[in-house]
Amino acid sequence: MADMQDSRRSAFQTMTGLLSLPRGARLGAGPTIAAFLLVVIVAASLLAPLYVPYDPLTMDAMARLSPASAEHWLGTDQYGRDTFSRVMYGGRVSLLIGVGASLVSVAIGLCIGLIAGFFRKLDGPIMRVMDSLMAIPAILLAIALVALNGPSLGSVIIAITIPEVPRVVRLVRSVVLSAREEPYVEAATALGSSMPKILIQHLMPNTLAPLIVQGTYICASAILIEAILSFLGAGVSTEIPTWGNIMAEGRNYFQIKPGLIFWPGLLLSLCILSINLLGDTARDLLDPRMKKREG
Amino acid sequence: MSFKPRMGTFRNTSVAAVMAGATLAAPMAFAQDDETTTLTAVMHSGLRVLDPIITTAHITRDHGYMIYDVLTAVDENFEPQPQMASWEVSDDDLTYTFTLRDGLMFHDGSPVTAEDVVASLERWGQIDSGGQLIFDRTESLEATDEKTVTWTLSEPFPPLLTVISKQSAVPPFIMPASVAATSPDETITEYIGSGPFVFEEDEYEPGVSVTYSKFEDYVPRDEPASWMAGGKVVNVDEVVWTTMPDAVTAVNALSNGEVDYIEQVQIDLLPILENAPDVVVETRDDLGYVAIGRPNFLYPPFDNKELRQAALTALDQENMLATMQGNPDYYNVCGAIFGCATPLADESGSDPVTSDDEGPEQARAMLEEAGYDGTPIVLMAPTDVISLVNQPVVAAQALREAGFEVELQSMDWQSLVQRRAQQSPVSEGGWNLFFTNWMVPEVSDPLINVMLNGRGDDAWFGWPTDPELEEMREEFIAAEDEAARKEVAVRIQEHVMDNVNYMHMGEYLIPQARSTAIEGMLPSPVPVFWNLTKGE
Amino acid sequence: MLSYILKRVLATVPVMIIVAVFVFLLLRLTPGDPAAILAGDAATPAQLERIRDRLGLNDPLHIQFFTWVFQMLKGDLGTSLISNTDVGGMIVSRLGPTINIALMTIVISVALAVPMGVIAAWRHRTWVDFAVMSFSVLGFSIPVFVIGYIFIQIFAIELRWFPVQGYTAPSAGLWDFFSQAILPSLTLATIYVALIARMTRASMLEVLGEDYIRTARAKGVRENVVLFRHALRNAAVPILTIIGTGFALLISGVVVTESVFNIPGIGRLTVDAILARDYPVIQAMILLTAGIYVLVNLIIDVSYSFFDPRIRY
């Protein structure tokens, strides 16, 4: 039964993880297009300072909510800031949140998971704490965490990270649990290898493939959760544009000026789509067994 | 000094024309009998606190006016008028005698007595700052008989009637003596008033909706209603207040005929209502609101008067108001700290913040002269209160342009109200500047305006120690007539602009929107639900 | 079986205790002052201090914690610091809308998603498959509030089929309930449909490759019987699992849709309470949602044996 629980994936992972190629198939057009899209979006975001026409923070009270024009390609928002510049800059921050949240949660989850999987005595208590964290709805936990630390970029990343950690821990732990029964690990233990050495040299490599896959899903979900946090008034400050807070601020103008939601929304959706597709591909390439084990 | 439009130039913007033909009958959110008329109103905030004395929250004050009545109330000329009681003042100005009118009754059927009035005034006097001023000078407050209250002072307090008639923030609502016996630190638990509406406790959902039914035994005064004074004649059976977390949803609900009234509509959403048949957009409250910034006087840079002046010069009312409101019909660049359309209005000394010429350059020069050392300004910015989101963002940019270092710190409103109470240095969780807003009647007089308290640690957040201002406030209290009061008020205006006790960022209006079925809605700073009728 | 259930129920006890301690500490560490929200903008520091005293917010942390735990054990969820009303009562009155919308969402989702997934698997690698998958990818790439606004714009404002907002209890009017609940349920369902359809498709694909399906087909069993009786039943376990894990997703969606559609449910109650630092309400709500999460997953674990005879305890 324990295995069954461990194989239960996070809702998001399952949700996003199954648009996959049939096993053994070659890379199709999907992942290629996704990779291309993602490269374009990432490059466009990273290089934004080089080509956007305005500072994303410069306001102009007299030109607020102006329509698209030669001067403002996508119009302006309620502060008179240039939407195009903000959306492109917003990509940087949204991607940073996605990558940051996935790296941090994978790193923390890996450490805890290795410990839980290896030390039998710690396994019980650690997993109970992880169960508890999972039982608290992620969005409510995130709002409370943002309230605790203030809505800075770092604290939003942490708020998104903490609810993800238990899922990573479960994944790592299940990999370690099965790997530690392998003959070479048993041999290493018998030969008196030190604990850290066994953990890092023998057990950790096994977790790499599933973690890369899991990381991409966390990245996609973090970008979405950031948008929801902004909607609920618990997001990053408006001085740091993100796709999420541009959309959240633009929601009052949905009927008057839909572009404020449409453009960041389009990029956000394309980005999430691509990340997930690539995650699926990575899953199939890196670990063909994973799908079967988890199904 | 440039001339700016006065309050009088604000237009009542009726957007939609009356259109015949029913809209497709969307199911109503609240079931209706054929017999009862129910008015569904979307209020600016959810009602959560039911004690109108303990809190200064506007929605609770509005609730107070629904179910409670007041002794005296100001009319639209800012004149106190009898409401529950008429009064007489002795020749030495020390004794006020209030006589309750006939027919006053609480919702539980018991008559309103002088004892109830005394108990209610006493509880209010322990909390309200204006009330405290009166009770500091009170010799005795007694119920001399069933219907007479005698208030004896130790020294004259000319503004007494103005203070007890004030409509905001905490008017002395009259409750049964047993309820008024509740400690002023605890919220009341029985909601019985003698006002024109009865609170329906069973249907109350905190923060979501509250239902009031007409109090059949209420006897309105004969005079026509004017602001909070006059006859409160109720023509509907039921009023339901709801709140909607999403402003667009509220506007769509009104244009779809699902609700009858929205108390506050964001200006940017008005275009949606323009196409809606059967909807009228108008300004109920011609006085409107003021936006203000409050510096912290305890720590650099704003412990330095010259730097406060530089900041005031850097800021520009027009720029801030235009961003907040968009449509110039709904804001007013005006330097009068007591409000432009109030008796004490005066714009002396407000040039730095009202004239937009060369603001940044001038401010930069002032900074240099004052020897600004680059100490960053920690500017607190709320993320979850829509009406307060814009101001710090705009201010941050203006201050930066003038050469200030600004650290805009976002937080939810709760974190902000806790943090602004911290007197510690910025490095230990303090702050330098925040923005908020007030209704004009809450700042229209040196006694009501809490930001004019200059008593250091006892002052409002920011804690200026300003003996000069305190002295002028005493002079204001002692002033014998209107002209003398006005003279003191002008000096206070000049002082506040020069010393920058706070940054007065101008006035703005928030329109309301109603279905054309509702007629006879009174203009008033507080939304009132008497006098109006609801047709088909 | 019974001892298994008992064991599982007992295992939830430490989880709930950890949740309680964690939430309590998290809230006390968070800056904020319920007294300030209660008293409003113009309150003096002295008045705030007296109110904090009255509310017990100045007591030492461990006293506050044990007072709360003791209360809970007596079945008393406490009193809201802000509205001074009973938290239990508040939750009960706000639970109905959320549960009804959630149930409707699940019914809609399952009704749409399972056939979609089955057909996509059956017509694997055809345009039907592609269409179903594209739709479900779209469903989770767009933030919920945007989906809500789009539905309002189309169905409530342009077409005027349904009201924009509001909630009526089914007992107060079944038609009103449905007309108001349909848009929020559909909004929530987009994610859920995406989720379930993909899961159904994936597990059906696995099952359809099994020998007994080929045998059944070879024996001439009708295709819809093969699909819906043989294959779907064996594909049920992962589908059930996803409904359980999707519960957490549903909660975050509920918080947003309740704002967009003005539904007086527990999602809004909790967010409002967090923003107002109404500690008793937040604590009770998080314990409650955590409890429901644990319970739902317990029920699903137990029901596995019903769908998959290979799982025995």
- pLDDT tens for each residue of chain A, 295 residues long: 333 333 334 444 443 444 444 444 445 677 888 899 999 999 999 999 999 999 998 888 888 888 899 889 999 998 999 999 999 999 999 999 999 999 999 999 999 999 998 888 999 899 999 989 988 888 888 988 988 888 889 999 999 999 999 999 999 998 888 888 888 888 888 888 887 788 888 888 888 888 988 899 899 999 999 999 998 888 888 889 999 999 998 988 888 889 999 999 999 999 988 888 888 778 777 755 444 433 3
Element (H, E) at B256: none
- Which residue would you say has higher pLDDT here, B11 or C230? C230
Beta B80-82 vs B72-74: how paired, if at all? antiparallel
Indicate if the pLDDT at residue B511 is higher than 50: yes
b/e per residue, B294-320, with b = 16+ CB within 10 A? bbbbbbbbbeeeebbbbbbbbbbbbbb
Residue B276: per-residue pLDDT = 85
Residue A79 contacts B where some CB pair is shorter than 8 Å = yes
CB contact under 8 A, B419 and C31: yes
CB contact under 8 A, A4 and C26: no
Q: What is the mean pLDDT of residues B314-320?
A: 92
Residue B357: per-residue pLDDT = 66
Read out DSSP for B71-118? SEEE-TTS-EEESSEEEEE-TTS-EEEEEEPTT-B-TTSPBP-HHHHH
Q: Among the listed ranges B45-49, B215-219, B514-518, which one has the minimum average pLDDT value?
A: B45-49
CB contact under 8 A, B394 and A59: yes
Residue B9: per-residue pLDDT = 32
3-state secondary structure of B440: helix
Judging contacts by C-beta atoms under 8 Å, the chain A residues touching residue B272 are 255-256
Indicate if the pLDDT at residue B34 is higher than 70: no
CB contact under 8 A, B268 and A252: yes
Judging contacts by C-beta atoms under 8 Å, the chain C residues touching residue B253 are 163-166, 262
DSSP state of C262: T
Nearest-5° angle of CA B274, CA B17, CA B530?
95
Judging contacts by C-beta atoms under 8 Å, the chain B residues touching residue C156 are 252, 256
**pLDDT 10s digits, B425-470:** 988 888 999 999 999 988 998 988 989 999 888 888 999 999 999 9
Residue C295's closest chain A neighbor by CA?
Answer: A135
CB contact under 8 A, B24 and C82: no
Which chain A residues in 6-65 lie under 8 Å from chain B, judged by CB atoms? 57-59, 61-62, 64-65
CB contact under 8 A, B245 and C259: yes
Residue C190 CB-density burial (10 A; 0-12 exposed, 13-18 middle, 19+ buried)? buried
Residue A149: per-residue pLDDT = 82
CB contact under 8 A, A19 and C19: no
Residue A252 contacts C where some CB pair is shorter than 8 Å = no
Judging contacts by C-beta atoms under 8 Å, the chain C residues touching residue B453 are none
Q: What is the mean pLDDT of residues C219-234?
A: 81
CA distance A86 to chain B (A): 15
Q: What is the mean pLDDT of residues B42-59?
A: 90
DSSP state of B224: P
Residue A252: per-residue pLDDT = 86
Nearest to B252 by CA among A189, A63, C262, C266: C262
Q: Among the listed ranges A115-129, B413-427, B474-488, C175-189, which one has the minimum average pLDDT value?
A: B413-427
Residue B54's closest chain C neighbor by CA?
Answer: C39
Show Cβ contacts of residue A144 under 8 Å, excluding neighbours closer than 6 positions.
C23, C26, C27, C30, C274, C282
Q: Kindly state the greatest CA–CA separation across chain B.
A: 73
CB contact under 8 A, B326 and A64: yes
Residue A13: per-residue pLDDT = 43
In this prediction the pTM is 0.86
CB contact under 8 A, A238 and B414: no
**pLDDT 10s digits, C19-58:** 999 989 988 888 877 887 787 777 777 778 888 888 888 8
Nearest to C257 by CA among C107, C140, C143: C143
Residue B245's closest chain C neighbor by CA?
Answer: C259
Mutate to test the interface with A, among B256, B265, B269, B323 (most CBs of A within 10 A): B323
Amino acid at A43: A
CA distance C291 to chain B (A): 24
Half-sphere exposure of A144 (CA within 13 A, CB side): 26
Residue C305: per-residue pLDDT = 67
Residue B522: per-residue pLDDT = 93
Nearest to B98 by CA among B70, B131, B125: B70
Residue B80: per-residue pLDDT = 95
Judging contacts by C-beta atoms under 8 Å, the chain C residues touching residue A270 are 141
Pairs of residues, one from chain B and one from chain C, whose beta carbons lie less than 8 Å apart: 154
Residue A262 contacts B where some CB pair is shorter than 8 Å = no
3-state secondary structure of B212: strand
Strands annotated E in B431-532: 433-439, 503-508, 512-515, 518-519
b/e per residue, B223-242, with b = 16+ CB within 10 A? eebbbbbbbbbbebbbbbbb
Show Cβ contacts of residue B234 under 8 Å, excluding neighbours closer than 6 positions.
B196, B197, B214, B215, B218, B529, B530
DSSP state of C87: H
Token code pair at residue B3: 């001339």
Residue A291: per-residue pLDDT = 45
Indicate if the pLDDT at residue B205 is higher than 70: yes
CA distance B122 to B378: 40
Neighboring chains of B (3 or more beta-carbon pairs < 8 A):
A, C
Residue A10: per-residue pLDDT = 41
Q: What is the mean pLDDT of residues B282-311?
A: 94
Residue A187: per-residue pLDDT = 84
CA distance A242 to chain B (A): 15
Nearest to C55 by CA among C72, C40, C38: C38
**pLDDT 10s digits, B143-180:** 999 999 999 999 999 999 999 998 877 899 999 999 99
Judging contacts by C-beta atoms under 8 Å, the chain C residues touching residue A28 are none
User: Which of A80, A237, A254 lies at the smallest CB-CB distance from B248?
Assistant: A254
Which chain B residues in 502-531 lie under 8 Å from chain C, judged by CB atoms? none
Neighboring chains of C (3 or more beta-carbon pairs < 8 A):
A, B
CB contact under 8 A, B246 and C94: no
Amino acid at B15: V
CB contact under 8 A, B246 and C260: yes
CA distance A64 to chain C (A): 22
Residue C48's closest chain B neighbor by CA?
Answer: B185
Beta B406-411 vs B377-382: how paired, if at all? parallel
Q: What is the mean pLDDT of residues B14-20?
A: 32
Token code pair at residue B202: 């069973």
Residue A33 contacts C where some CB pair is shorter than 8 Å = no
Residue C290's closest chain A neighbor by CA?
Answer: A135
**pLDDT 10s digits, B232-280:** 999 999 999 998 888 889 999 999 999 999 999 999 899 889 888 899 9
- How far from the centroid of its chain's Cα atoms is residue B386's Cα? 17
Q: What is the mean pLDDT of residues B20-44?
A: 60
Q: What is the mean pLDDT of residues C73-89?
A: 88
Residue reference for tokens 């529950």: B84
Indicate if the pLDDT at residue B222 is higher than 70: yes
**3-state secondary structure labels for all residues of chain A:** CHHHHHCCCCHHHHHHHCCCCCCCCCCCHHHHHHHHHHHHHHHHHHCHHHHCCCCCCCCCHHHCCCCCCCCCCCCECCCCCEHHHHHHHHHHHHHHHHHHHHHHHHHHHHHHHHHHHHCHHHHHHHHHHHHHHHHCCHHHHHHHHHHHHCCCHHHHHHHHHHHHHHHHHHHHHHHHHHHCCCHHHHHHHHCCCCHHHHHHHHHHHHHHHHHHHHHHHHHHHHHHHHHHHHHCCCCCCCCCCCHHHHHHHHHHHCCCCCHHHHHHHHHHHHHHHHHHHHHHHHHHHHCHHHHHHHC
User: Which of A58, A251, A255 lies at the smallest CB-CB distance from B272?
Assistant: A255
Judging contacts by C-beta atoms under 8 Å, the chain A residues touching residue B394 are 59, 61, 79
Residue C275 contacts B where some CB pair is shorter than 8 Å = yes
CA distance A256 to chain B (A): 7
CA distance A159 to A140: 10
CB contact under 8 A, C251 and A139: yes
Radius of gyration of the CA atoms of chain B, in A: 24
CA distance B90 to chain C (A): 33
Residue B24: per-residue pLDDT = 34
Nearest to C199 by CA among A294, A175, A262: A294
CB contact under 8 A, C262 and B246: yes
Nearest to B414 by CA among C32, C57, C281: C32
**3-state secondary structure labels for all residues of A262-284:** HHHHHHHHHHHHHHHHHHHHHHH
Work out the end-to-end distance of chain B between its first and last CA atoms, rounded to an integer number of angstroms. Answer: 51
Pairs of residues, one from chain A and one from chain C, whose beta carbons lie less than 8 Å apart: 160
Indicate if the pLDDT at residue C307 is higher than 80: no
Residue A287: per-residue pLDDT = 56
